[in-house]
Amino acid sequence: MGREALCACRCGAEAGEVKALLETHEVILRGAVKRRIPIASMTDIRVVGESLHLAAGTEAVALELGGVEAARWAAKLTTPPPSLRQKLGVGPDCLAFVVGDIDGTPLAEALAGVCARAPATARVMVAVVRDEAALKRSVATHASLPAGAAIWVVYGKGRTAAFGEGAVRTFMRAHGFIDTKISGVSQALSAMRYIRR
C-alpha cells in the first residue's frame, strides 16, 4: 500500500512520535512505540477528528495523521485488496493464454474459466518460467497474440530463486519489452507485466 507518516501515536499505555508505515499486510510503527500490527487483526477502524483509531487485539491505537490523511489510511485499511485475477487484469472479456505449469499455484484459481485455447483469442499471456529457455519459448509464443497484448512473466521470488526478477528483466528488456507492473503471486512466485516498446 506504501503510505508512511511521522505522527504522534498512542498505543495501549505507550505514547510518542513514530514513523508509521502502511504496508500490504501490516502497519509498522517505529520510534517511541514499536509495533507490527497485522491488518487482518485490526478492528474498529475509524477516523476521530484528526486521528485514525483502531483496535489491535486488546490495545487501542491512535495515530494523529491529520483528518485527510487519516481518512485515506482508514479507506486503505478497510478496502479489501484486489484479487490476483483483478491484479492480472483477466476475466471473461480478457482471456489469458497460459504457458507453463500453473497447477498447485494461486494462478490456477485466478485463471479458472478465463484461459484462451489459442494465442490468437487471448488478450494477455501468462508465462510461468523456471529458466531462460522457458522464457525464450514464451516470448516466441507471445508473438502469436494480438498486437499490444501484454505478457505476465511469473518467476521465482527472492534471492534463492534459480531464475528470478533480475534475470527476467534483463532478458525481456534485451528483447524489446518494458515492465509496467509487478504483483505477488504466492510466497514463492512473483509476476511482472511486460509490453513491447
We report the CATH number of the domain holding residue 178 as 3.40.50.150
Domain match, 94 and 34 both: no
Query: Alpha-carbon distance 74 to 194, whole Å?
Result: 32
Domain match, 188 and 146 both: yes
Domain match, 175 and 119 both: yes
Predicted confidence at residue 1, as pLDDT, reads 54
Predicted confidence at residue 120, as pLDDT, reads 93
Cβ-based neighbour number of residue 88 at 10 Å: 25
Domain match, 124 and 55 both: no
Q: Which domain holds residue 97?
A: 84-196
Cβ-based neighbour number of residue 184 at 10 Å: 13
**β-strand pairing of 26-31 with 14-22:** antiparallel
Last residue of a domain, one of 30, 59, 78: 78
Q: Which residues of the chain have pLDDT under 70?
A: 1
Total structural domains in the chain? 2
The alpha carbon of 95 is separated from its chain's Cα centroid by a whole number of angstroms, namely: 21
Q: What is the pTM of this model?
A: 0.74
182, 192 in Cβ contact below 8 A? yes
pLDDT in tens, 118-155: 999 999 999 999 999 999 999 999 999 999 999 999 99
Alpha-helical segments (H) within the chain: 67-78, 84-88, 106-111, 132-142, 165-174
Burial of 107 (0-12, 13-18, 19+ CB in 10 A): buried
